[in-house]
Structure 1
Amino acid sequence: MEQPPSDRKIIHVDMDAFYASVEQLDNPELRGKPVAVGGGEKRGVVSAASYEARKYGVKSAMSGYLAKKKCPHLIFVKPRFDRYKELSQKIRKIFLEYTELVEPLSLDEAYLDVTNNKKGIPSASLIAKEIRQRIKEEIGLNASAGISINKFIAKVASDYNKPNGQKTVPPEEVESFLEALDIRKFYGVGKVTAEKMYQLGIFSGKELKLKSIEYLNEHFGKSGSYYYQVVRGVHNSEVKPHRIPKSVGTEHTFFENLSSEVFMLEKLEKIAHELERRLKKSKIAGKTVTLKIKYSDFAQQTRSRTLPYYIADKSMIFDTVKELLYQEKPQNSVRLLGISLSNLNTEKKTTLPEKPLSVQLQFDF
């Protein structure tokens, strides 16, 4: 089955160090200084780091203790999600002046389909530039953007000229862009997968493209087909204004490490209760329950079970989590526990073509 050519113009807008930048915007004394949003105490975790902090190796999801060790003069500020949400909504209003097809991924990034935009601007690159300029002038924050024929390439491109830049990959350059791309830059290829690809002699898109779909499926399971498609510039996912979540979860980091399974179960029951509340509020149910465990040495483990029916109530979630916990004795004392539900009743199954057709299009980007 041949893949029909795509003539879409997609922009991925990604705010630069959003949470930290908002703090620097609101407090001039923080500007130009290394800032981390989150907690610097023993159990603190960095939610976001300013570019000044990143120069020292401070990253999101890093422990506050380690972040302070890397950057002793790091300034920690508590997150203010109401403020981040307020500015995110203002940014979204700017997006909506250009197109109704806006798909937020989080408070600080979104996809825009500007193929047929409200202002009748033929160039997606010019739209991205204008949007970034307006965000800077009207809100005071920097944004980066990626522009291309689909969501995958646009997202990869938005990282290219960060911070405060943009990258356009027009149709005629898609093939060469993806072939030259470091495999670590492919959206959907994590650290573990990248290491596995290195061992298989796959270091860039060029090597990935040489592998057959059978080879990739054999080594990477269901993800193999995805890698086979995207390296050829094929990604059919549309920009969906009302994005459907693929999973719902909640987790908790503990002030003291937990070494007893009895205490773990006590915490997990509370987490299951919170998850039930979120599921019922959204009227969502799922089949796959995942238990997340982060140990005191920061090693992380997940255990999952898929049920033959949809569940949303606390008792069934907790019963499944209990089985998952007892599946294997925890390797160490535990600092974080989390439960998530996926394989939701909101998902629609889609199939991808096996042999896409590479196409080159000529129109104003």
Structure 2
Amino acid sequence: MEQAGRTGPLWTAGRRGAWHDPGVRAEPTILHLDLDAFYAAVEQRDKPSLRGRPVVVGGTGGRGVVATASYEARAFGVHSAMSTAEARRRCPNAAFLGGRFDAYREASRQVMRVLRETSPVIEPLSLDEAYVDLEAADLPDHSVASVSALARDLRARVAEATGGLTASVGIGTSKLVAKIGSDLDKPDGLVVVAPGLEQDLLRPMQVTVIPGVGPATAERLRRAGVHTVLDLEQLGEDELVRLLGRAHGGSLFAMARAQDPRPVEHARGAKSISVEDTYETDHVDAGLLSALLDRQSAKVTERLRKARLSGRTVSIKVRLHDFSTVSRSATLPEPSDDGRLIARVARRLLGELDTSAGVRLLGVGVSGLADWIQEDLFADEVQAEPEVDEAMAAAVFAAASRGQGWSPGLDVEHDVHGRGWVWGAGRGVVTVRFETAETPPGRVLSLAADDPALHRFSLVPPEDDLDPLSPDAPGT
């Protein structure tokens, strides 16, 4: 195994074995990239006064939940999924910010562009992580030295493209090993696991490092005396099947031996078409939410028709006030590209959820795509639906996008003082720190919340509704 840090290889150990297990590749050609403390890092990049300081991104209210904490905040024990109240107790001097998903999506878009320039075969997992198949990359060979050099160059290009964001990279002969490797030298690290050393890496680790070993499975294994991967490896397959079932037990039996044949799955065509919007203010009004769904459904329909596609499964995505995300879907009897039908299904799905505490993100998507449409299948049903008042929906959408409050971290611009971001607000006053990513730390001013010279400001172009993880994203 070679572990390469910020300035190059730190140490090398082991050998390349003559015998090779069929459950992994013969060479280290799967790369996993994970951006470090992503949301918080974007905030520190764009807000000079927060660099080197604890930053917590997530719900800022009394029932909020931490989405990401900077490494400075993690030193105080703050971590994702912790309540914001507990995070404030542990790190009262941190900056608590509500999040700017347009900025995060744009940063992710830049990273995915760099990855696609490295290899045509990538598998994005989320905004901040992806697998890359190096067998498809332009390399003289796939030795540890070659893939290490490529990874160092890749990390440098990611930092350049994103204005300084760092990424940790793991490379190995399987997805399992690459993913674990990217966690070993955070932040800004590089770990390459040479063929033949996979089990040496895994055996001392806690069994929860294996994909699929969540709290319930870990507890079952603990009762059987299994704590580490080595303990798991020593169990027979029959015993694991008895404990966990045939599929799960068989999978863990193989994973404990570093046998993970999963390929890097590159989506060569869009699997779904979706639209989503994040709001500065949590919305609770059912009529408003329905109008927003109607408008999103119309935009999805427009995209379907431009692509000459129809879809069979309608889905909604809802991020609630506490940053928890819920999805619901329903499958139509036949593919459709009718916006009124899609809107009707989306509204019904939303009605099944408790949104009384507020919605901060709403999205509509259509999947199960086909290149044909069953004409008039729902004609009678659709005709009974009232037409959406487009002017009303546009007005509602504009009002919702503007929001009614000044959430911490929000980008703003003042006609006199220039650009900055909201430090805090309340009782008719909004406190703004006037600085940008290109300036030194700026001064802080308190202004009237209704100051007509103060406006929201977007650092990125208007959302084009393309998921940065999609193969259709710009730069692909």
Residue matched to 1:215: 240
Compute the displacement of 1:176 (Å). Answer: 1.9
Residue matched to 2:222: 198
Question: Higher helix fraction: Structure 1 or Structure 2?
Answer: 1
Q: 1:144, 1:161 within 8 Å by CA — same for their partners in 2?
A: yes
Q: In structure 2, what is the Cα distance between the partners aligned to 1:208 and 1:339? A: 41
Residue matched to 1:40: 60
SS at match of 1:161: coil
Residue matched to 2:263: 237
Compute the displacement of 1:7 (Å). Answer: 2.8
- Structure 2 residue 155 is matched with structure 1 residue 132: yes
Q: 1:205 to 1:42 in 2, by over 3 A?
A: same
Residue matched to 1:7: 26
- Structure 2 residue 111 is matched with structure 1 residue 94: no
State, as a whole percentage, how many aligned pairs show the same letter. Answer: 33
Q: In structure 1, what is the Cα distance between the partners aligned to 2:223 and 2:114? A: 45
Residue matched to 1:354: none
Q: How does 1:1-365 map to 2 (within 5 A)?
A: 3=22, 6-7=25-26, 9-120=29-140, 122-123=143-144, 124-138=147-161, 139-209=163-233, 210-213=235-238, 215-216=240-241, 218-220=243-245, 222-231=247-256, 232-242=258-268
Q: 1:276 to 1:186 in 2, by over 3 A?
A: farther
Q: In structure 2, what is the Cα distance between the partners aligned to 1:46 and 1:146? A: 26
Q: 2:56, 2:96 within 8 Å by CA — same for their partners in 1?
A: yes
Q: In structure 1, what is the Cα distance between the partners aligned to 2:188 and 2:313? A: 39
Which AA in structure 2 matches 1:80?
R
Q: 2:24, 2:259 within 8 Å by CA — same for their partners in 1?
A: no
Q: Which deviates further from its counterpart, 51-60 or 143-152? A: 51-60
The structure whose Rg is larger is: 2
Q: Per-residue CA shift, 1:210-266, capped at 9, x if unaligned? A: 2315633642563223212222422323342459879x999x9xx99x9xxxx99xx
Q: In structure 1, what is the Cα distance between the partners aligned to 2:238 and 2:320? A: 37
Compute the displacement of 1:17 (Å). Answer: 0.5
Compute the displacement of 1:165 (Å). Answer: 0.9
SS at match of 2:76: coil
Q: 1:88 to 1:307 in 2, by over 3 A?
A: closer
Q: In structure 2, what is the Cα distance between the partners aligned to 1:211 and 1:304? A: 39
Q: 1:315 to 1:219 in 2, by over 3 A?
A: farther
Q: 1:158, 1:167 within 8 Å by CA — same for their partners in 2?
A: yes
Which AA in structure 2 matches 1:155?
K
Q: 2:237, 2:249 within 8 Å by CA — same for their partners in 1?
A: no
Q: 1:177 to 1:245 in 2, by over 3 A?
A: farther
Q: In structure 1, what is the Cα distance between the partners aligned to 2:101 and 2:88? A: 23
Q: 2:23, 2:259 within 8 Å by CA — same for their partners in 1?
A: no
Q: 1:178 to 1:243 in 2, by over 3 A?
A: farther
Q: 1:153, 1:233 within 8 Å by CA — same for their partners in 2?
A: no
Compute the displacement of 1:84 (Å). Answer: 1.8
Q: In structure 2, what is the Cα distance between the partners aligned to 1:234 and 1:137? A: 33
Q: Per-residue CA shift, 1:291-335, capped at 9, x if unaligned? A: 99x999999999999999999999999xx9xxx9xxxxx9xx989
Q: In structure 1, what is the Cα distance between the partners aligned to 2:127 and 2:363? A: 22
TM-align CA RMSD: 4.8
**TM-score computed with the length of structure 2 as normaliser:** 0.54
SS at match of 1:86: helix
Which AA in structure 1 matches 2:134?
V
**TM-score computed with the length of structure 1 as normaliser:** 0.68
Structure 2: runs of 5+ lacking an equivalent: 1-20, 371-476
Q: In structure 2, what is the Cα distance between the partners aligned to 1:195 and 1:312? A: 47
Q: 1:181 to 1:298 in 2, by over 3 A?
A: same
Which AA in structure 1 matches 2:157?
R
SS at match of 1:40: coil
Q: Which deviates further from its counterpart, 153-162 or 76-85? A: 76-85
Which AA in structure 2 matches 1:182?
Q
Q: 1:288 to 1:195 in 2, by over 3 A?
A: farther
Q: What is the aligned residue count?
A: 339
Q: 1:46 to 1:274 in 2, by over 3 A?
A: farther
Q: In structure 1, what is the Cα distance between the partners aligned to 2:321 and 2:329? A: 21
Residue matched to 1:361: none
SS at match of 1:222: helix
Runs of 4+ aligned structure 1 residues displaced above 4 Å come to 2-5, 241-246, 270-292, 294-317, 333-336, 338-341, 343-346
Q: In structure 2, what is the Cα distance between the partners aligned to 1:150 and 1:136? A: 25
Residue matched to 1:358: none
Q: In structure 1, what is the Cα distance between the partners aligned to 2:127 and 2:159? A: 17
Residue matched to 1:359: none
Q: Per-residue CA shift, 1:47-90, capped at 9, x if unaligned? A: 22111111222222333223212221121223222222222222
Q: In structure 2, what is the Cα distance between the partners aligned to 1:207 and 1:303? A: 39
Structure 1: runs of 5+ lacking an equivalent: 325-329, 347-365
Compute the displacement of 1:205 (Å). Answer: 1.3
Q: In structure 1, what is the Cα distance between the partners aligned to 2:339 and 2:239? A: 41
Q: Which deviates further from its counterpart, 119-128 or 29-38? A: 119-128
Residue matched to 1:352: none
Compute the displacement of 1:181 (Å). Answer: 2.2
Q: In structure 1, what is the Cα distance between the partners aligned to 2:73 and 2:246? A: 38
Which AA in structure 1 matches 2:106?
E
Which AA in structure 2 matches 1:136?
A
